[in-house]
């Protein structure tokens, strides 16, 4: 682990005026998401022994596919147009088993660029938690306050377990409605360093904001699904408490180096130096695929080293009637109608063993275990999320799955 940005310039492009206040404007995303180290303090995750990606003799021509157009029903659209004009995709890789069927880059991105993966970082964090549980340092049934002393005298955190945090069922009052400027998320994001603080605000860091502001209960623990990015940071705080080292060093040792990665990843931190594990890991596409493929290959790296217990994967994707009920109860998902959420993964169709890591603006790793298929992608979708983006992602996934 090395420090590469101690004092950010907060400027991505001086000539274009792209900076901390507007890096995520739609016209800036293609560049801003490749240079987050200029906006945040940043450390590296150093690679281990690189594992070559095997290439299949049979390649997949995605540009030539004809897909149903989610924007204009009853019409078809080519794969090339779909990736460029529906998903605003930057990079795409398809792997079946341990072989790459397709790899492509667009919108100016190259194979050497590191792209922020946003909330896909959460899923990688849960994998590190799973490894730590296997080491006996964490227990999923233990109260989260056991690991974070600041919560021990807080009534709203009583009864909240590590598993509740993993499953976004902590019951803590919080809003992550990106369309609401007063949502908790935007106040947190400015405190963590995503954007300049407003008048009267201060960039106090992720930990301090969590302790100061996640201070009331909306539901009983385990009774409701409420998506809350800060819960992933709480997992990071628990990891630091039991390993007694910085979160980036934990990621580097337990996941990144053993996954066979080839190049350093960049981990953005808040102003206090805490790695923002809910969304600020930046990776090359191939290295993201190497890390994500552990969930495809029964917990093993591409070099066949067992990294995660297979039981973690089977428990994550198992159909769960309670999880489905509370997932649909708060905000009905019209695309993944049978979906559920478990261990920081979106289980889009548990009966079909299809699940995903998802990040705003079109970042993903999607799995179909029955087909031994994984699709990973980076994007610059103009909005953080929305039904059209989600429907477009699902259309792409299912079209590719039908071809293999």
| 230-243 helix and 206-213 helix, angle to the nearest 10 degrees | 110
Q: How do residues 310-328 score in pLDDT, each as one tens digit?
A: 999 999 999 999 999 999 8
* Contact between 203 and 190 (Cβ < 8 Å): yes
End-to-end CA, the chain: 39
Q: How many residues does the chain have?
A: 404
Q: How do residues 265-282 score in pLDDT, each as one tens digit?
A: 999 999 999 999 999 999
Cα-trace Rg, the chain: 20
pLDDT at 331 over 70: no
In our burial notation (b when 16+ CB lie closer than 10 A, e otherwise), range 373-388 reads bbbbbbbbbeebbeee
Per the listing, tokens 């306050």 go with 145
The helix (H) or strand (E) run that includes residue 12 is strand 11-13
pLDDT at 330 over 80: no
Tokens standing for 80?
Answer: 């090339």
Q: Is the pTM of this model over 0.85?
A: yes
How do strand 3-5 and strand 41-45 relate by DSSP bridges?
antiparallel
> Who has greater pLDDT, 102 or 336?
102
pLDDT band at 332 (very low <50, low <70, confident <90, very high): low
Tokens standing for 394?
Answer: 């699902």
Q: Residue 335's pLDDT is what?
A: 77
49: helix, coil or strand? coil
The helix (H) or strand (E) run that includes residue 191 is helix 184-192
- Mean of all residue pLDDT scores within the chain: 96
């Amino acid at each position: 682990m090395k420090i590469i940005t101690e004092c950010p310039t907060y400027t991505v492009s001086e000539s274009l005026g792209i900076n901390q206040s507007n890096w995520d404007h739609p016209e800036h995303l293609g560049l801003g998401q490749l240079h987050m180290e200029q906006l945040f303090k940043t450390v590296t995750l150093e690679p281990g022994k690189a594992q070559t990606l095997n290439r299949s003799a049979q390649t997949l021509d995605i540009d030539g596919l004809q897909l149903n157009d989610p924007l204009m029903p009853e019409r078809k659209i080519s794969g090339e147009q779909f990736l460029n004009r529906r998903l605003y995709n930057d990079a795409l890789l398809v792997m079946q088993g341990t072989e790459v069927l397709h790899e492509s880059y667009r919108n100016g991105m190259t194979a050497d660029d590191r792209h922020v993966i946003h909330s896909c970082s959460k899923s990688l964090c849960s994998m590190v938690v799973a490894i730590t549980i296997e080491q006996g340092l964490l227990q999923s049934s233990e109260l989260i306050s056991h690991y974070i002393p600041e919560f021990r005298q807080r009534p709203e955190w009583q009864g909240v377990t590590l598993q509740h945090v993993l499953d976004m069922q902590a019951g803590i009052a919080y809003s992550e409605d990106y369309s609401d400027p007063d949502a908790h998320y935007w106040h947190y994001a400015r405190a963590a360093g995503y954007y300049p603080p407003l008048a009267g605000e201060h960039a106090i860091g992720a930990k301090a904001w969590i302790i100061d502001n996640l201070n009331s209960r909306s539901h009983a623990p385990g009774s409701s699904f409420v998506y809350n990015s800060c819960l992933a940071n709480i997992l990071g705080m628990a990891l630091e408490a039991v390993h007694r080292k910085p979160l980036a060093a934990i990621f580097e040792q337990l996941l990144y180096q053993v996954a066979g990665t080839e190049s350093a990843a960049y981990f953005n931190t808040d102003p206090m130096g805490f790695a923002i594990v809910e969304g600020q890991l930046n990776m090359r596409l191939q290295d993201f695929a190497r890390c994500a493929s552990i969930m495809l290959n029964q917990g093993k790296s591409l070099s066949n080293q067992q990294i995660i217990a297979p039981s973690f994967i089977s428990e994550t994707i198992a159909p769960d009637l309670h999880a489905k009920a509370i997932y649909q109860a708060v905000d009905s998902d019209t695309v993944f109608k049978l979906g559920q959420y478990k261990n920081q993964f979106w289980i889009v169709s548990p009966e079909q063993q299809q699940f995903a890591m998802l990040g705003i603006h079109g970042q993903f790793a999607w799995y179909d275990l029955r087909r031994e298929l994984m699709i990973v992608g980076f994007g610059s979708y103009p909005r953080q999320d929305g039904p059209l983006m989600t429907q477009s992602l699902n259309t792409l996934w299912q079209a590719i799955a039908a071809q293999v």
